Structure formats: structure tokens, C-alpha cells
Amino acid sequence: MKTERRDEPAGVRIVIQEDLDMHVAGELQTALHGALHDKPKSLVVDLSGVGFIDSAGLAVIIECLKRARQASIAFHVENLSAQVKDTFEISGLTKILGIQ
């Protein structure tokens, strides 16, 4: 899976550059777990390169959100396309993550 890690003053940004489904969910989890393992102040999952996400991708986001909360790491998801945002809304995650 294509990802880019950017170390920023506020924390770590992981830019995802591929659609997210069951086929790549494991790689997404590995990338996010790696970032969480470093215990940054915040972790931003940047979905600017994602045109589609399914429940397998969302499950990884949910699992990492719970890990981040347990470790007191601020967790954000940003730059959602219209279709990805619609999927987040259906799942109820927009409210939980405070996505506008």
C-alpha cells in the first residue's frame, strides 16, 4: 500500500495514497501501528489520496482510534473525498471523530 509518513511539529501525519478495502487493510494497520508505537503527540490519518473505503478500512481506523485514546495520543482523520466522507457518515464515525 502506498503511504507517506510526515513528521510534523504537532505529531505524525500518515498520508494514504490508495483506496482502502479488505485487500490492503492489513498494510494500513501496520502503517498506523508503526506510527502509534512511536507515541507522537498526535496522529493524523490523511486520506487525500483515498477515493474509496469499506468497513475493513474503517475497522482499522476504529481500532487505531481506540489504541490512540488509550495512549493519550490525539487522533485525527483529514482530507476526506465526498464518497469517503459519505461512508464515514454511514458508519457514525464522523461524529465520533469530529469530522466536519
Where does this chain bind another protein (CB under 8 A)?
A: 19, 21-23, 52, 54-56, 58-59, 62-63, 65-66, 83, 86-87, 90-93, 95-96
Q: Measured from the CB of residue 50, what is the shortest distance to another protein in angstroms?
A: 12
Q: Which is nearer to another protein, 10 or 96 (CB)?
A: 96
Is the distance from CB of 59 to CB of 91 less than 8 angstroms? no
Q: Which is nearer to another protein, 71 or 96 (CB)?
A: 96
SS3 content of the chain, % helix, strand, coil (to 5): 45, 25, 30
Our CB check for another protein shows the closer of 8 and 86 to be 86
H helices of 1-73, where? 25-37, 55-70
Least separation in angstroms between residue 54's CB and another protein is 5
For residues 88 and 98, give the distance between their C-alpha atoms in angstroms, rounded to a whole number: 11
Residue 84 beta carbon to another protein: minimum distance, rounded to whole angstroms: 9
Q: Residue 66 CB, nearest distance to another protein (Å)?
A: 6
Say if CB 42 and CB 73 are below 8 A apart.
yes
Which residue has 483529514 as its cell numbers?
Answer: 78
